[in-house]
A and B are shown apart, each in its own frame.
Chain A
Amino acid sequence: MFTTIVSAILAIAIAIFGGAASVWYALDVEHGFGSQTVGVWTSYPDLGSAESDPYSKARVAREGILVLGRAEGLTFTASTDSSGEGLRRECTYVIEGTIPQARFWTLFAADAALAPITNPFVRPAAVQSQAVLRLPGNGVSITVSPHASPGNWLETSGKGEAVIVLTLYDTSLTGGKNFSDIELPQVLRKDCDA
């Protein structure tokens, strides 16, 4: 009798906590359902659209977000550099490579919660394609650093984890159908403040 009750309680406890915890895990993990990765960059091309999977739908509802529509743009985030190490606000990185076809794009640094980093002075921690210097061959090289640097400088400040967000506006890439053959820039770590 006693073992029956214990077993029943155990089964119910595993069901409830296991079920709830696994949903939470599935919704929180960075490379979750519906994500596509290109190098260090992750995107959720179907997030928030009517055709998205139940995980994406639950994610949108739980986080209360209003994601960019397909005709608007596509967002990529990078939280590690090309060697796989996590991005830090106190470090200097060079983002180098070509960026896929779009009407324009923006690139900004954010904290771990994806809120844009604000600097003590007027400059936002952001650059956009209409105001960057380009390399021969239409590539770009952007220095992400707390210290002033020549060329394209994305000024960061503070300490802690960082995420770099690249958004392509009015691009034909939306829908994620041709992700396999696109190229996104590398994120190379230079040095860090002690």
Chain B
Amino acid sequence: MPIKQQGDIKIWKRRDRNRQLAIWFGQFMAVAIFVYCWQLVSENTIWMFVTDAPRQAADMMDRMVPPKWSYMSDLWRPVWDTITIATLGTLMAVVLAFPIAFLAARNTTPSSALVRPVALFIIVSSRSINSLLWALMLVTILGPGVFAGVLAIGFRSIGFCAKLLYEAIEEIDETQVEAVTATGASGAQILNYGIVPQILPAFAGISVFRWDINVRESAILGLVGAGGIGLQLSSSIDTVTWTQVSLILLVILATVIVSEWVSAKVRHAII
């Protein structure tokens, strides 16, 4: 315990001197970096627009209410497309992530020198590229539409699902695997009876969780032309029909709330 001696009196200190100095230095550096970056922000901003923003915001709000309810009839299809993209994308991702997770987990990988790094690289690159970027790429390649959206969501989710799944595989109870091995089971049987039942709840949980995230993500894919309700959002903003914009935002909000509720229910039921 760090104590400062002052004559006969011992004074308790939270940290010893070097550690305290290190923390102060860290804080100082953080402030310095922040100030430097803020200066860059300031150089790149037209402050006149920013000071004008509250008036603009009030104006925008004013033009957004009331939402144009009659536009709803055009929105059912995009909402359906959004959910389709999220669902099929998630499905594609979990199907592909399942084998990759087994290749990436330390205790099931066939070769930790060759196969594991490849699997980990797939996971990392899929995760670091935002689904909007995947969509951007796929739209230039496959053309605009729902199909590009499904693939974008799928590619983005592979890494996420595989990462969580391989962590679950690494945490399984080895004694059960050993017990199944002791019965003389083959490799595939060990996988099927020793490992899969242990990770199945985690697998279902991960899938539903990712589906929930994907509903949100697929709502914006339309911004780059990959189908879903984002398409209507960006065109309504471009044509400054704010009453349609507010309706779309409400619809997105409702979709997100419903999907969150469904996913919470399902996860609660299986865990």
Do A and B pair up? The answer is no
Q: Which residues of B are at the interface with A, using a C-beta cutoff of 8 A?
A: none
